[in-house]
Amino acid sequence: MDTRDAFRHNVLTSGHRACSGCGEAMAARMVTDLIGPEAIYVNATGCLQVFSTHNQQSAWQAPWIHSVFANAAAVASGVEAALRARGEDTPVIVQAGDGGTFDIGLQCLSGMIERGHDVLFVCYDNEAYMNTGVQRSSSTPHAVRTTTSPPGRVSEGKHHLKKDLISIVAAHRMPYAATATVAYFPDLRAKVDKAMRIKGPRFLHVLSPCPLGWDHDAALSVTVARLAVETGLFPLIELEYGAVTGVTRLARQQPVEEYLKLQGRFKHLFADKGGAEEIRHLQALADANIRRYGLLDANTEWDTDRASQTQRHGRGGYAASSREVSP
Protein backbone atom coordinates (compact mmCIF):
# COMPACT_ATOMS: atom_id res chain seq x y z
CA MET A 1 0.00 0.00 0.00
CA ASP A 2 1.24 3.49 -0.87
CA THR A 3 1.84 5.31 2.41
CA ARG A 4 -0.26 8.20 1.09
CA ASP A 5 -3.24 5.90 1.57
CA ALA A 6 -2.31 5.23 5.20
CA PHE A 7 -5.02 5.28 7.86
CA ARG A 8 -7.89 4.80 5.39
CA HIS A 9 -8.11 1.30 6.82
CA ASN A 10 -7.01 0.58 10.38
CA VAL A 11 -5.36 -2.84 10.43
CA LEU A 12 -5.25 -2.70 14.24
CA THR A 13 -8.65 -1.35 15.13
CA SER A 14 -10.41 -0.27 18.31
CA GLY A 15 -11.47 -2.69 21.01
CA HIS A 16 -8.04 -3.96 22.02
CA ARG A 17 -6.97 -3.95 25.67
CA ALA A 18 -3.67 -2.09 25.61
CA CYS A 19 -2.76 0.08 28.57
CA SER A 20 -3.25 3.82 28.31
CA GLY A 21 -0.28 5.39 26.55
CA CYS A 22 1.03 2.02 25.31
CA GLY A 23 3.92 2.71 22.94
CA GLU A 24 3.63 -0.74 21.40
CA ALA A 25 -0.02 -0.17 20.48
CA MET A 26 0.90 3.18 18.91
CA ALA A 27 3.81 1.66 16.99
CA ALA A 28 1.80 -1.31 15.74
CA ARG A 29 -1.03 0.97 14.65
CA MET A 30 1.38 3.20 12.73
CA VAL A 31 3.33 0.38 11.07
CA THR A 32 0.39 -1.83 10.09
CA ASP A 33 -1.71 1.05 8.82
CA LEU A 34 1.20 2.10 6.62
CA ILE A 35 1.57 -1.44 5.25
CA GLY A 36 -2.16 -2.03 4.96
CA PRO A 37 -4.53 -5.03 5.13
CA GLU A 38 -3.21 -6.77 2.02
CA ALA A 39 -0.44 -8.50 3.92
CA ILE A 40 -0.09 -11.53 6.18
CA TYR A 41 0.94 -10.68 9.75
CA VAL A 42 2.71 -13.24 11.94
CA ASN A 43 2.64 -12.23 15.60
CA ALA A 44 4.87 -13.72 18.28
CA THR A 45 3.48 -14.23 21.76
CA GLY A 46 3.74 -11.07 23.83
CA CYS A 47 1.90 -7.93 24.88
CA LEU A 48 0.71 -7.10 21.36
CA GLN A 49 -0.74 -10.54 20.84
CA VAL A 50 -2.38 -10.64 24.27
CA PHE A 51 -4.05 -7.23 24.26
CA SER A 52 -5.21 -7.47 20.64
CA THR A 53 -6.66 -11.00 20.71
CA HIS A 54 -8.49 -11.65 23.93
CA ASN A 55 -11.07 -14.36 24.68
CA GLN A 56 -11.83 -15.34 21.07
CA GLN A 57 -11.91 -11.71 19.97
CA SER A 58 -9.53 -9.93 17.61
CA ALA A 59 -8.70 -6.29 16.88
CA TRP A 60 -6.98 -7.25 13.61
CA GLN A 61 -8.54 -6.46 10.24
CA ALA A 62 -6.03 -8.36 8.13
CA PRO A 63 -4.79 -11.97 7.87
CA TRP A 64 -3.07 -12.59 11.21
CA ILE A 65 -1.28 -15.62 12.68
CA HIS A 66 -0.30 -16.15 16.31
CA SER A 67 2.99 -18.01 16.71
CA VAL A 68 4.76 -18.93 19.93
CA PHE A 69 7.48 -16.74 21.42
CA ALA A 70 10.39 -18.42 19.67
CA ASN A 71 9.31 -19.17 16.12
CA ALA A 72 7.57 -16.15 14.57
CA ALA A 73 10.37 -15.72 12.01
CA ALA A 74 10.25 -19.45 11.16
CA VAL A 75 6.47 -19.37 10.69
CA ALA A 76 6.80 -16.29 8.48
CA SER A 77 9.54 -18.04 6.48
CA GLY A 78 7.15 -20.92 5.79
CA VAL A 79 4.34 -18.58 4.81
CA GLU A 80 6.64 -16.65 2.46
CA ALA A 81 7.98 -19.86 0.87
CA ALA A 82 4.45 -21.17 0.30
CA LEU A 83 3.35 -17.91 -1.30
CA ARG A 84 6.43 -17.88 -3.52
CA ALA A 85 5.74 -21.46 -4.62
CA ARG A 86 2.22 -20.39 -5.62
CA GLY A 87 3.54 -17.41 -7.55
CA GLU A 88 1.97 -14.92 -5.13
CA ASP A 89 3.61 -11.70 -3.96
CA THR A 90 1.67 -10.98 -0.75
CA PRO A 91 3.82 -9.14 1.84
CA VAL A 92 4.69 -11.14 4.96
CA ILE A 93 5.27 -9.21 8.19
CA VAL A 94 6.53 -10.45 11.55
CA GLN A 95 5.62 -8.54 14.70
CA ALA A 96 7.36 -9.29 18.00
CA GLY A 97 8.46 -7.63 21.20
CA ASP A 98 12.00 -7.58 22.52
CA GLY A 99 11.53 -10.94 24.24
CA GLY A 100 10.52 -12.58 20.96
CA THR A 101 13.34 -10.81 19.08
CA PHE A 102 16.41 -10.13 21.26
CA ASP A 103 16.07 -13.34 23.28
CA ILE A 104 13.71 -16.23 22.58
CA GLY A 105 13.24 -15.55 18.88
CA LEU A 106 16.82 -14.61 17.93
CA GLN A 107 17.79 -17.99 16.47
CA CYS A 108 14.79 -18.14 14.13
CA LEU A 109 15.29 -14.48 13.17
CA SER A 110 18.91 -15.20 12.25
CA GLY A 111 17.86 -18.21 10.18
CA MET A 112 15.19 -16.23 8.36
CA ILE A 113 17.73 -13.56 7.41
CA GLU A 114 20.47 -16.01 6.45
CA ARG A 115 18.10 -17.92 4.13
CA GLY A 116 17.04 -14.69 2.44
CA HIS A 117 13.29 -14.87 2.98
CA ASP A 118 11.30 -11.92 1.66
CA VAL A 119 9.93 -10.93 5.08
CA LEU A 120 9.83 -7.70 7.08
CA PHE A 121 10.49 -8.35 10.77
CA VAL A 122 9.30 -5.55 13.08
CA CYS A 123 10.45 -5.50 16.70
CA TYR A 124 8.39 -3.31 19.03
CA ASP A 125 10.96 -2.83 21.77
CA ASN A 126 9.61 -1.97 25.23
CA GLU A 127 12.82 -3.19 26.87
CA ALA A 128 11.50 -5.94 29.16
CA TYR A 129 9.09 -8.84 29.40
CA MET A 130 6.14 -6.58 30.16
CA ASN A 131 3.42 -9.13 29.45
CA THR A 132 4.55 -11.50 32.21
CA GLY A 133 5.47 -9.05 34.96
CA VAL A 134 8.22 -6.65 33.84
CA GLN A 135 11.15 -9.06 33.98
CA ARG A 136 14.48 -7.97 32.48
CA SER A 137 15.40 -9.00 28.94
CA SER A 138 18.63 -8.58 27.00
CA SER A 139 17.04 -5.40 25.61
CA THR A 140 16.70 -3.89 29.09
CA PRO A 141 19.16 -0.99 29.51
CA HIS A 142 21.89 -0.96 32.13
CA ALA A 143 20.87 0.01 35.70
CA VAL A 144 17.12 -0.36 35.09
CA ARG A 145 14.85 -1.58 37.88
CA THR A 146 12.75 -4.61 36.89
CA THR A 147 11.15 -7.35 38.95
CA THR A 148 14.17 -9.58 38.25
CA SER A 149 16.82 -6.84 38.53
CA PRO A 150 15.76 -4.93 41.64
CA PRO A 151 18.07 -2.21 42.98
CA GLY A 152 19.43 -2.61 46.48
CA ARG A 153 22.61 -2.99 48.48
CA VAL A 154 24.14 -5.39 45.97
CA SER A 155 23.47 -3.51 42.73
CA GLU A 156 21.83 -0.45 41.20
CA GLY A 157 19.52 -2.49 38.96
CA LYS A 158 20.37 -4.52 35.87
CA HIS A 159 24.11 -5.19 35.61
CA HIS A 160 24.37 -5.76 31.88
CA LEU A 161 24.26 -3.52 28.82
CA LYS A 162 21.39 -3.48 26.34
CA LYS A 163 22.15 -5.89 23.51
CA ASP A 164 23.21 -4.10 20.31
CA LEU A 165 20.73 -6.03 18.19
CA ILE A 166 20.79 -3.73 15.16
CA SER A 167 24.51 -4.48 14.76
CA ILE A 168 23.90 -8.23 15.14
CA VAL A 169 21.19 -8.13 12.50
CA ALA A 170 23.26 -5.93 10.17
CA ALA A 171 26.17 -8.38 10.45
CA HIS A 172 24.06 -10.80 8.35
CA ARG A 173 24.60 -8.40 5.41
CA MET A 174 20.84 -8.17 4.95
CA PRO A 175 19.32 -5.73 2.43
CA TYR A 176 17.83 -3.31 4.95
CA ALA A 177 17.68 -2.66 8.70
CA ALA A 178 16.66 0.47 10.57
CA THR A 179 15.75 1.90 13.95
CA ALA A 180 12.72 4.12 14.60
CA THR A 181 10.49 5.35 17.42
CA VAL A 182 6.88 6.35 17.96
CA ALA A 183 8.08 9.94 18.48
CA TYR A 184 9.00 10.60 14.83
CA PHE A 185 6.23 9.42 12.55
CA PRO A 186 7.66 10.98 9.34
CA ASP A 187 10.91 9.08 9.94
CA LEU A 188 9.02 5.85 10.69
CA ARG A 189 6.85 6.31 7.62
CA ALA A 190 9.88 6.80 5.37
CA LYS A 191 11.54 3.66 6.73
CA VAL A 192 8.44 1.48 6.43
CA ASP A 193 7.89 2.74 2.88
CA LYS A 194 11.51 1.99 1.97
CA ALA A 195 11.41 -1.45 3.58
CA MET A 196 8.28 -2.36 1.63
CA ARG A 197 9.98 -1.49 -1.67
CA ILE A 198 12.96 -3.77 -0.98
CA LYS A 199 12.98 -7.52 -1.60
CA GLY A 200 14.56 -9.97 0.81
CA PRO A 201 14.80 -9.95 4.61
CA ARG A 202 14.31 -6.56 6.29
CA PHE A 203 14.35 -5.55 9.94
CA LEU A 204 12.77 -2.59 11.71
CA HIS A 205 13.53 -1.88 15.38
CA VAL A 206 10.91 0.47 16.89
CA LEU A 207 11.44 1.83 20.41
CA SER A 208 8.03 1.61 22.11
CA PRO A 209 7.79 3.07 25.65
CA CYS A 210 5.72 1.16 28.20
CA PRO A 211 4.12 3.38 30.89
CA LEU A 212 3.60 0.33 33.13
CA GLY A 213 7.11 -1.11 32.95
CA TRP A 214 8.98 2.17 32.51
CA ASP A 215 6.85 3.76 35.24
CA HIS A 216 6.18 7.05 33.47
CA ASP A 217 3.03 9.11 32.99
CA ALA A 218 0.90 7.58 30.23
CA ALA A 219 0.71 10.97 28.52
CA LEU A 220 4.51 11.12 28.17
CA SER A 221 5.16 8.09 25.93
CA VAL A 222 6.03 10.19 22.88
CA THR A 223 8.09 12.64 24.99
CA VAL A 224 10.10 9.81 26.53
CA ALA A 225 10.72 8.22 23.11
CA ARG A 226 11.87 11.58 21.74
CA LEU A 227 14.31 12.06 24.61
CA ALA A 228 15.77 8.60 24.01
CA VAL A 229 16.79 9.89 20.57
CA GLU A 230 17.85 13.39 21.66
CA THR A 231 20.18 12.05 24.36
CA GLY A 232 21.88 9.65 21.97
CA LEU A 233 20.73 6.56 23.85
CA PHE A 234 18.66 5.38 20.87
CA PRO A 235 20.15 6.54 17.54
CA LEU A 236 17.90 6.60 14.47
CA ILE A 237 19.90 4.88 11.74
CA GLU A 238 19.58 2.87 8.54
CA LEU A 239 21.83 0.05 7.36
CA GLU A 240 22.05 -1.66 3.97
CA TYR A 241 24.07 -4.84 3.53
CA GLY A 242 25.79 -4.19 6.85
CA ALA A 243 26.83 -0.60 6.19
CA VAL A 244 25.33 2.50 7.81
CA THR A 245 23.64 4.48 5.01
CA GLY A 246 21.43 6.87 6.96
CA VAL A 247 21.62 8.77 10.24
CA THR A 248 19.16 11.22 11.80
CA ARG A 249 21.44 13.91 13.18
CA LEU A 250 20.88 16.08 16.26
CA ALA A 251 21.28 19.83 16.52
CA ARG A 252 22.22 19.35 20.17
CA GLN A 253 22.44 16.52 22.65
CA GLN A 254 20.20 16.43 25.70
CA PRO A 255 21.75 15.16 28.96
CA VAL A 256 20.62 11.65 29.84
CA GLU A 257 19.16 12.90 33.15
CA GLU A 258 16.35 14.54 31.16
CA TYR A 259 15.37 11.09 29.89
CA LEU A 260 15.96 9.17 33.11
CA LYS A 261 14.08 11.47 35.50
CA LEU A 262 10.74 10.94 33.74
CA GLN A 263 10.83 7.19 34.40
CA GLY A 264 10.32 5.48 37.74
CA ARG A 265 12.45 2.54 36.60
CA PHE A 266 15.48 4.85 37.01
CA LYS A 267 14.26 6.57 40.17
CA HIS A 268 16.70 4.72 42.41
CA LEU A 269 19.63 6.28 40.56
CA PHE A 270 18.70 9.70 41.91
CA ALA A 271 18.24 8.48 45.49
CA ASP A 272 21.78 7.52 46.52
CA LYS A 273 25.45 8.12 45.76
CA GLY A 274 25.87 4.86 43.86
CA GLY A 275 23.24 5.98 41.39
CA ALA A 276 25.30 9.00 40.33
CA GLU A 277 28.02 6.66 39.08
CA GLU A 278 25.49 4.71 37.01
CA ILE A 279 24.09 7.94 35.52
CA ARG A 280 27.61 8.84 34.43
CA HIS A 281 27.92 5.38 32.90
CA LEU A 282 24.67 5.84 30.93
CA GLN A 283 25.85 9.27 29.78
CA ALA A 284 29.06 7.67 28.55
CA LEU A 285 27.05 5.12 26.58
CA ALA A 286 25.02 7.90 24.96
CA ASP A 287 28.20 9.85 24.17
CA ALA A 288 29.68 6.74 22.57
CA ASN A 289 26.65 6.47 20.27
CA ILE A 290 27.03 10.13 19.34
CA ARG A 291 30.64 9.52 18.29
CA ARG A 292 30.01 6.14 16.65
CA TYR A 293 27.28 7.37 14.32
CA GLY A 294 28.30 11.03 14.05
CA LEU A 295 24.94 12.17 15.41
CA LEU A 296 25.92 15.78 16.03
CA ASP A 297 26.24 17.95 12.95
CA ALA A 298 26.38 21.74 13.13
CA ASN A 299 24.99 21.97 9.59
CA THR A 300 21.84 20.00 10.37
CA GLU A 301 18.94 22.09 11.65
CA TRP A 302 16.52 20.32 13.90
CA ASP A 303 13.80 22.23 15.71
CA THR A 304 10.16 21.69 16.56
CA ASP A 305 8.88 24.48 14.29
CA ARG A 306 10.62 22.93 11.29
CA ALA A 307 9.33 19.47 12.21
CA SER A 308 5.71 20.60 12.56
CA GLN A 309 5.92 22.48 9.28
CA THR A 310 7.21 19.48 7.35
CA GLN A 311 4.56 17.27 8.94
CA ARG A 312 1.77 19.65 7.90
CA HIS A 313 2.98 19.56 4.32
CA GLY A 314 3.45 15.80 4.28
CA ARG A 315 7.23 15.97 3.87
CA GLY A 316 9.71 13.54 5.33
CA GLY A 317 10.19 15.65 8.47
CA TYR A 318 13.34 14.69 10.29
CA ALA A 319 15.93 13.48 7.82
CA ALA A 320 15.59 9.78 7.06
CA SER A 321 19.26 9.80 6.14
CA SER A 322 22.27 12.03 6.57
CA ARG A 323 21.88 13.02 2.94
CA GLU A 324 18.33 14.30 3.32
CA VAL A 325 17.60 17.39 5.39
CA SER A 326 14.16 18.94 5.05
CA PRO A 327 14.26 22.56 3.85
* Stated pTM of the model: 0.87
Judge contact between 207 and 259, C-beta under 8 A.
Answer: no
| CATH architecture of the domain with residue range 3-312 | 3-Layer(aba) Sandwich (3.40)
Q: Cα separation of 319 and 244, whole Å? A: 14
Delimit the domains of the chain by residue range: 3-312
Read off the pLDDT of residues 19-32 as tens digits, 9 standing for 90 and up. 999 999 999 999 99
pLDDT above 80 (res 304): no
Read off the pLDDT of residues 248-299 as tens digits, 9 standing for 90 and up. 999 999 999 999 999 999 999 999 788 999 999 999 999 999 999 999 965 5
Segments in the chain forming alpha helices (H): 23-35, 47-52, 72-85, 106-115, 165-170, 185-197, 211-214, 221-230, 256-260, 273-293, 304-312
pLDDT above 80 (res 159): yes
